Amino acid sequence: MCYTDDARPPLPRVSGAAADQGEVRLTSADGNRFLAYFARAARPRAAGIVIMPDARGLHGFYKELAQRFAETGVDAVAIDYFGRTATENARDEGFDFRAHLERVKSSGINADVLAAVQHLRSEEMGSPGAIFTVGFCFGGAHSWRQSAAGHGLAGCIGFYGRPQAAREVLGGMQAPLLLLVAGADVTPQDEFQRFDQELTAAGVPHRMVTYPGAPHSFFDRTWAEHREACDDAWEQMLRFIREEGRLSSPPATNKH
């Protein structure tokens, strides 16, 4: 689990709003109905993003993050992983996510991401042209894996992901990657360096940004001591979305 119930994503500069937001049930190709949270930009910039949470699933941090993306003009859908096994919707710190996580399969995650991508492409959400994924920890590696899932993505972003969890699909990756690495993460830094080299050798377009001294879960505005890294990671994401999505108008920054 990356984030406690008190964690909060960065606040972008006020330049827009979410036109609509809330919980929705999406259905995957295998019939799975799962909880998601959408936020539709009032001033869309032809980009959308699927948010892939940490191992606890769809809790408050990711719902707020969807809103923050919408405020920058990027439509967002945050997904939950446990529609196939959990009957309750609560994902607070009391949720026993470990009992469900061991039953989650990569194929199921891919199917759920595709359902979220299709929702973003629907007329209801405004049909953004360039769609991305962003994931955290467990979701970070699975976000990178979406590059090889055939969803027609413009790019895949991952925080704190474990390279070994994405390495098996490296040969099939097509969408560009953004790797946002905590310099003091539990995963050894040489593992990220190795992954960087492997991506280069495989011809996968990518950028790796490392934040020296930043711990796992540094992307959290309640950690004042890591605000510079947190804010820069937000900037890196928006830059990646702007460049890989070929947006004519850049998403707003988080500078006040």
Whether residue 255 lies inside any domain: the answer is: no
Low-confidence ranges of the chain (pLDDT < 50): 255-256
Whether residue 178 lies inside any domain: the answer is: yes
Whether residue 193 lies inside any domain: the answer is: yes
pLDDT computed for residue 195 by the predictor: 98
Which range marks the domain in which residue 166 is found?
A: 18-244
pLDDT digits (tens, 9 = 90+) for 105-130: 999 999 999 999 999 999 888 777 89
pLDDT computed for residue 256 by the predictor: 39
Whether residue 251 lies inside any domain: the answer is: no
**CATH number reported for the structural domain that contains residue 38 in this entry:** 3.40.50.1820
pLDDT computed for residue 188 by the predictor: 96
pLDDT computed for residue 101 by the predictor: 81
CA–CA separation, 8 vs 28, rounded Å? Answer: 29
pTM for this model (two decimals): 0.92
Whether residue 4 lies inside any domain: the answer is: no
pLDDT digits (tens, 9 = 90+) for 224-242: 999 999 999 999 999 999 9
pLDDT computed for residue 129 by the predictor: 86
Whether residue 163 lies inside any domain: the answer is: yes
User: How many structural domains does the chain have?
Assistant: 1
pLDDT computed for residue 1 by the predictor: 57
Whether residue 230 lies inside any domain: the answer is: yes
Whether residue 8 lies inside any domain: the answer is: no
